[in-house]
Amino acid sequence: MAAKSSLFDATRACRLAVLPLSCLLSLAGHAQTTPPPAVKPPLPRVEPGLEKAVQWRWLPEASDPSVWGVALPPAPEPETVPGSPGTDAPKKATLPQGPPQATLEYTVAKGDSLYVIARQHGVTIDQIKAFNQMKRDVIVVGQVLRIPSLADIQAMAPPPEPAPVPKTKVAPKSPPKAPKEAPPETKLLIKRPLPSPAASVARIVLMQAYLDRQAFSAGPIDGTDGPLYDAALRSYEMAHPGELNSEMGQPAAVLREMGGAYAEYQLKEEDLRWITPQPLAPPVPVRKSRKSAPPPPEPPLTFEDLTAPPFLPYRSVWEFVAERYHCSESFLRRINSGLNTPVQPGALFFVPNVLPFEIENALKEPLQPTADPAAPVTATIISNSRLEIRRSGKLIANLPVSVARPGLRGKGSWKILEAIARPCLVTSGDPAAPVNPPLVLPPGPNNPVGPIWIHLAKSSETTPLPYGLHGTSIPGYMNRQESVGGFRMTNWDIARAVRLLPVGTPLTWE
């Protein structure tokens, strides 16, 4: 065998020796010009735009509620139709209240979306897609769509299920066994088949969503496990022993009662009040390849980008929906890769089945509850990474925390003071060369401290410390990037933590 191997090597060497010089040079050139594998750029150490600002002292202040939100563009004037004979006054056209009487054909124009077309004709997006056998929300200029009539819609509806035929009862030969307890009825939350990226991780998303519903958060839901997930799960099982147990590998009863790992959310026109206005553009057809093209990179934020506007909204629809449903933006994009771009009102998202963070309702007063001596509340921050809240000694919440500034630590006994809704941040800048008037980071969900700031103080003092407990503008990176503030949580977690923490709640560090 060794002789054969040596003979083969010698023959191969001879063949290479007689190759033309041009071929050898070509092979060498090909090896040298092969592009190296793409290297992902490292994550910036500091939250973009705050590179210098992290060195300054910032103080929170309440902002004017009137600047909370983005002004929506005025509604377009209704189209006019000619008046009745003998009159010159035009009549204002009204939107139809239902489907047309007969099937129509509509040619897609520039700026159209399925939402706009459906609204103009009194039908739904799903009805247009089903009638035109469309699998995606993609339309292109010049495309002809058939608008279903009422009769068409009724014909598309599935026939009712036949009534079950009663079986003839036969006397049992032996006493019947007691029937097994039926599982609780499952709620129908989604009517469409799940895409494979969502279905493949549905089991862990179900558990993440359940823990999140119980205020035992593992951070942004992303369909993967890890240290934060393990910590949240262990903590919940200790607080609720046996609740997640199941038989024969089936989900626990509390998980079945949720109705599934996912729900659906349809983007509304009023949601745009919280999102940076995007330039209108005609829909871009999705390529037929299985992998959708990644979104184009956004230019890095500057300090001027953060201080110039009166309000810091979400920077995209994706960021808005991801925060509303407590998940990472990359995960949301992955399970909704078939959505049209740009995403417009009427778009239907698959989202984790959590209790949504509704920014339009999250700041209703009073933010903090009244202390109840019969059910005292205590709080503990463990290893600068988790906030535990107890009522009457029972653990009721376990939520992730991270430190915004390196080296910031707490020890001993502190306490919870008043909370500020819609905070802005104010600074005089560099202490060596202070500026006047002060610099301001305006309020908004993308303020570095989010929509809520909770003042903290040492247990023996009443003066607030310069660092509090607050939200964040970078929920997916708050463990990896420095920022301004103190001890941060995701915006959805700080919004529910504040409603569990009365003024005067003891806060200890472990």
Greater confidence (302 vs 116) lies with 302
Confidence category of residue 189, pLDDT binned at 50, 70, 90? low
Q: What is the pLDDT of residues 354-380, one digit of tens each?
A: 999 999 999 999 999 999 999 999 999
pLDDT at 11 exceeding the cut of 90: no
Which pLDDT does position 489 carry in this prediction? 98
pLDDT at 178 exceeding the cut of 80: no
318-328 average pLDDT score: 98
Confidence category of residue 101, pLDDT binned at 50, 70, 90? confident
Greater confidence (388 vs 121) lies with 388
Confidence category of residue 219, pLDDT binned at 50, 70, 90? very high
**Helix, strand or coil, per DSSP, at residue 488:** strand
pLDDT at 4 exceeding the cut of 70: no
Rounded CA separation 365/263 (Å) = 29
CATH architecture for segment(s) 53-67+363-509:
Beta Barrel (2.40)
Confidence category of residue 139, pLDDT binned at 50, 70, 90? confident
Q: 332-336 long-range CB contacts below 8 Å, 24 or more apart?
A: 333/295, 334/197, 335/194, 335/195, 335/197, 335/198, 335/262, 336/195
Confidence category of residue 168, pLDDT binned at 50, 70, 90? very low
Is the bond leading into 437 cis (omega within 30 degrees of zero)?
Answer: yes
377-382 and 506-509 beta bridge pairing? parallel
Q: What is the pLDDT of residues 232-262, one digit of tens each?
A: 999 999 999 999 988 777 889 999 999 899 9
Which pLDDT does position 192 carry in this prediction? 84
Which pLDDT does position 297 carry in this prediction? 64
pLDDT at 185 exceeding the cut of 50: no
Q: What percent of the chain stands above pLDDT 90?
A: 59
Q: How far is CA 70 from the centre of its chain?
A: 20
Which pLDDT does position 293 carry in this prediction? 55
What is the location of CATH 2.40.440.10 in the chain?
53-67+363-509
Mention every residue, 6+ apart, whose C-beta is less than 8 A from residue 421: 62, 363, 365, 367, 451, 452
Amino acid at 379: A
Lowest mean pLDDT among 36-45, 106-115, 220-229, 281-290: 281-290
Rounded CA separation 395/239 (Å) = 6
pTM here is: 0.72
- Whether 146 contacts 134, CB under 8 Å: no
Confidence category of residue 57, pLDDT binned at 50, 70, 90? very high
Rounded CA separation 448/450 (Å) = 6
CATH topology of domain 100-148: Membrane-bound Lytic Murein Transglycosylase D; Chain A (3.10.350)
Which pLDDT does position 95 carry in this prediction? 63
Which pLDDT does position 364 carry in this prediction? 94
Side-chain-side CA neighbours of residue 504 (13 Å): 6
Q: What percent of the chain stands above pLDDT 70?
A: 77
401-414 average pLDDT score: 92
Which pLDDT does position 129 carry in this prediction? 86
pLDDT at 32 exceeding the cut of 80: no
Which pLDDT does position 1 carry in this prediction? 46
How far, in Å, are 277, 295, 410 from residue 316 at the CA level?
8, 11, 35
pLDDT at 163 exceeding the cut of 60: no
Tokens of 506: 């003891």
Which pLDDT does position 111 carry in this prediction? 74
Lowest mean pLDDT among 36-40, 460-464, 469-473: 36-40
Q: What is the pLDDT of residues 383-406, one digit of tens each?
A: 999 999 999 999 999 999 999 988
Which pLDDT does position 17 carry in this prediction? 45
Greater confidence (325 vs 21) lies with 325
Whole-number average pLDDT of the chain: 83
Q: What is the pLDDT of residues 277-312, one digit of tens each?
A: 875 444 444 444 445 555 566 678 899 999 999 999
Mention every residue, 6+ apart, whose C-beta is less than 8 A from residue 66: none
Which pLDDT does position 202 carry in this prediction? 95
335-361 average pLDDT score: 93
What is the location of CATH 3.10.350.10 in the chain?
100-148
Which pLDDT does position 228 carry in this prediction? 87
Which pLDDT does position 498 carry in this prediction? 98
pLDDT at 184 exceeding the cut of 50: no
